[in-house]
Amino acid sequence: MQIIEILKEKKTSILRRWRDQIVDTYPKDSRAFFKNQKDRFANPVGHLIERTTEEVFQTVVADDMPVLTTSLEEFIKVRSVQELSPAQAIGFVLKFKDAVRAELKEDIEAKELHHELHNIETRIDKMTLIVFDSYCNARETLFQIKIREIKSQTYTIMNAKPLEPSDSGGG
């Protein structure tokens, strides 16, 4: 596939564009921090964005069925607890298509790579479905935790011993 070689050549610019699109889904005051803070411990989300995009790029470029990488699963879990709609939480994968199209536009036209682009976009679509499943699983886990917490609080309240007059601190 000729398009794979072009993707590899333009990897840096594709990833830069894609990462910018992902960071733009966050509140304005967070964006500069995510882009500029390079310490992975001070900026775990920014580090995860960088690592995840790198792994997804490698997975899509490989001639394998897209898989859920470890960092992608971690990133989905992070996005599942953030104040994002489901579309915003998983939409970053589709933004990969936008970045590829934008960076390869001239090559695709000049070398008539539309069919090869379609194959790459199909891999990205499959990755999107995998990410959607992972997002749903993460949200389900989150809701189960919340339900257990509510049940525990309710049990504690229902089984609490009433305060005796001498326990209330009043005289």
Task: List, as one string, the DSSP characters of 111-129.
Answer: HT-HHHHHHHHHHHHHHHH
In a domain, residue 167? The reply is no
Note the pTM of the prediction, 2 decimals. 0.78
**Is residue 169 one of the residues assigned to a domain?**
no
Domain count across the chain: 1
Contact predicate 96/56, CB 8 Å: yes
Residues in the chain, pLDDT under 70:
1, 64-66, 166-171
Question: What is the average pLDDT score of the chain?
Answer: 88
Q: Say which DSSP state 40 is in.
A: T
pLDDT at 125: 93
Tokens of 158: 């229902």
What is the amino acid identity at position 76? I
Q: What angle do CA 152, 153, 156 make, to 5 degrees?
A: 85
Q: Are 60 and 96 in contact (CB under 8 A)?
A: yes
Residues spanned by the domain of 140: 2-159
pLDDT value of position 122 = 92
Q: Which residues contact 45 (CB under 8 A, 6 or more apart)?
A: 34, 78
147: phi then psi, degrees, rounded to nearest 5? -65, -45
Whole-number pLDDT of residue 167: 55
Q: CB atoms < 10 A from the CB of 89, how many?
A: 22
Say how far apart CA 73 and CA 41 lie, in whole Å: 19
Q: What is the pLDDT of residue 168?
A: 55
